[in-house]
Structure 1
Amino acid sequence: MKILVTGGAGYIGSHTANRLLKNGFEVVVFDNLTTGFREAVPKGAKFIQGDVRSEEHLTQVLRDEKISAVIHFAAKLNVKESTFKPLDYYENNTAGVLAMAKAMQTVGVKHIVFSSTAALFGDKVQDRGIVEDDPKSPLNPYGNSKLMSEYILSDAASTGALTYCALRYFNVAGASDDGENGQRTADAFHLIHLGVQAAIGKRKQLQLFGNDYPTPDGTCIRDYIHVEDLADIHLLALKHLLAGGESDYFNCGYGFGYSVKEVIKMIKTVSGADFPVIESERRPGDAASLVADSAKLKSKLGWKPQRADLNLICKSAYQWEKRISNVK
């Protein structure tokens, strides 16, 4: 079977494309390279440069390549940017999903795995993990754009036009098991990425945004999932749909979280570096705590996490950053 991976030149998309190839699928990567990297596309995958907002181009690719299913990553991701450029996020993220759904309907491609987000849930400080059917209350346009995208897929599925799995990522980090792939975007805004850059000296300091949240140490708590475990989840979701499974949505995390201060401490431990940490004001749109309940993912898709270890996640990210920065 041939799978179309939109955004497959990006961080998570390229890891997933590689996982598909290793499991016997043919892969076509579709990416406009505004944030993706041509060198991240795994060997063995066909690359097509294009924009997911173009229904015409998507229709052509789905038809000409005889695509069996789609894994849709292509999206803008910066929460802070979305608060002052909201229309860009609706245009790219939501309109991109709409164009894809319409193209799939035109060609008759029935299955799509969608890259969603825990940002759907807003601020959830509670004594349990977030379950899939908890109320949705995004704090920013990025979260709104993804929630609207899920509505589009759900409504399309209700007519029989397609089946989908929406995978709601919590915080993704780390690099591939073989050390050959990782986060390439120099200005990516994720804490672990920024922290390892500070550890190797690419940043003079690390900013800590907000120390007055209602959490044990006053800093935000997040559920960090290794990128390779997340790639495994995409493969399981795809196989579920191809086997005739019903549309569904899943939280993708380990079920426990770490505070910003705990993550910084771990990065300093694995790197042996002591870099300055500057405490700053809160960023708009940041939730105090986001931790997944992944019981549904484990029971329905049979997922068994293999890398639920903050030390492993931070160490792999640190070693990758050293490699691409030519630091010994």
Structure 2
Amino acid sequence: MDNYILVTGGAGYIGSHMTLALQAAGERPLVIDDLSAGLRSAVPDGVPLFAGSVGDAAFVGDIMDRYPIAAIIHFAASVVVPESVARPLDYYRNNTANARTLIDCAVQRKVPHLVFSSTAAVYGEPDRTPISEGQSTQPINPYGRSKLMVEWMLDDVARAHPLSYAALRYFNVAGADPDGRAGQSSPNATHLIKIAVQAALGKRDGLDVYGTDYPTADGSCVRDYVHVSDLVAAHIDALRYLRAGNPSVICNIGYANGYSVLDVIEVVKRVSGIDFDVRIKGRRPGDPAALVASNELAKSLLGWRPRHDDLETIVRHALAWERRLP
């Protein structure tokens, strides 16, 4: 196969798993990453890595001119909800404006397919759970808005140009490669399971819970935690779906199971066999009470079949990876 699959943000947490999955599927991944959060060491041997921004049209265009691109899988983005509330313009630049540049480069070179890393944050405070793709999108933070704007752009572009896309609305991604080849390596990550396993291993002095007065069973936020390996499998499925000539699609990627923050902490303590300090703090701005996916569309349209739908398995893999890190 002569063509490449361009993975933006491919040196990051999810992107590094994606390149491994593409290699296993017989594809040729090529990575662009500005290395602000990603690591060169996370990119598998033999995969071309270009350090720079997807918002740099000359840089991206030159790569696309030299390497024939069959599809783009776009991860590169800022992803921290509280940070987006404090620094909204950074998020509209990095997530929305940079995506516009990338899409423009793709259209100019007639790249046929794009798989976009969207988010459950586009739903805001959902009126019911599990959340289906047809429910209203009313994001309550700049992170969700910045991603929804990209969905709008893709919809408009796909009507005007021969570009088909899949926008995958992730719920809470967690865990690590079951074979120990990749995981979440940033010491300053904000994902709950990552922070909890760091606390269990003494890399943090405990864990803060932001709000126990939400309208949930135990008062803490409820989320749908999806294993990173299942998530990247959904991208492979989406790429296959688009290549078969199917129309553009928006799909949730989650397990349709909700766990509270306090549930997750209990599982991490049980799996690790280690107790750690848990501090109750006030709510953070921009956090919805509960986000749980309906995943019937991904299963029926994309043929997605999750293999790691078990919170203890997710925690075990995250813990094993964390133990490998310095």
TM-score by length of 2: 0.98
Partners of 2:7 and 2:74 within 8 A in 1:
yes
Aligned residue for 2:69, secondary structure, equals: coil
Aligned-residue offset at 1:94: 0.3
Aligned-residue offset at 1:44: 2.5
- Write the distance in 1 (CA, Å) between the matches of 2:188 and 2:85: 18
The match for 2:70 is 68
The match for 1:212 is 213
Match of 1:5 among 1, 4, 7: 7
C-alpha spacing 1:322/1:125, structure 2 compared with 1 (3 Å): farther
Partners of 1:21 and 1:45 within 8 A in 2:
no
- Write the distance in 2 (CA, Å) between the matches of 1:70 and 1:124: 30
List structure 1 runs of 4+ shifted beyond 4 angstroms: none
Amino acid at match of 1:105: V
- Write the distance in 1 (CA, Å) between the matches of 2:290 and 2:320: 28
* Deviation string, structure 1 residues 272-325 (Cα, Å, up to 9, x no partner): 000010000001100000000000000001111100000000111011111113
Aligned residue for 1:68, secondary structure, equals: strand
The match for 1:48 is 50
Amino acid at match of 2:95: N
- Write the distance in 2 (CA, Å) between the matches of 1:111 and 1:97: 14
Instruction: Out of 270-279 and 241-250, give the one that drifted further.
Output: 241-250
Alignment of 1:181 with 2:182, yes or no, is yes
Partners of 1:77 and 1:142 within 8 A in 2:
yes
Aligned-residue offset at 1:124: 2.3
The match for 1:165 is 166
Partners of 1:170 and 1:251 within 8 A in 2:
yes
CA RMSD of aligned residues (A): 0.9
Match of 1:123 among 122, 125, 142: 125
* Aligned-pair identity (%): 49
The match for 2:85 is 83
Match of 2:22 among 1, 20, 23: 20
Alignment of 1:231 with 2:232, yes or no, is yes
C-alpha spacing 1:282/1:83, structure 2 compared with 1 (3 Å): same
- Write the distance in 2 (CA, Å) between the matches of 1:260 and 1:214: 13
The match for 2:137 is 136
Partners of 1:62 and 1:109 within 8 A in 2:
no
Amino acid at match of 1:64: R
- Write the distance in 2 (CA, Å) between the matches of 1:64 and 1:244: 26
- Write the distance in 2 (CA, Å) between the matches of 1:182 and 1:305: 18
Amino acid at match of 1:230: L
Aligned-residue offset at 1:83: 0.5
**Equivalenced residues, count:** 324
Aligned-residue offset at 1:125: 5.8
Partners of 2:107 and 2:161 within 8 A in 1:
no
* Deviation string, structure 1 residues 171-219 (Cα, Å, up to 9, x no partner): 0000101012100111111110000000000111110100000001101
* Deviation string, structure 1 residues 104-130 (Cα, Å, up to 9, x no partner): 11111121000000000011263x310
- Write the distance in 1 (CA, Å) between the matches of 2:231 and 2:45: 20
Unaligned ranges ≥5, structure 2: none
Alignment of 1:312 with 2:309, yes or no, is no
Amino acid at match of 1:109: V
The match for 1:322 is 323
Q: How does 1:254-269 map to 2 (within 5 A)?
A: 254-269=255-270
Partners of 1:17 and 1:42 within 8 A in 2:
yes
Partners of 1:210 and 1:281 within 8 A in 2:
yes
The match for 2:193 is 192
Aligned residue for 1:101, secondary structure, equals: helix
Amino acid at match of 1:13: G
- Write the distance in 2 (CA, Å) between the matches of 1:302 and 1:274: 40
TM-score by length of 1: 0.97
Partners of 1:76 and 1:93 within 8 A in 2:
yes
Unaligned ranges ≥5, structure 1: none
- Write the distance in 2 (CA, Å) between the matches of 1:63 and 1:262: 49
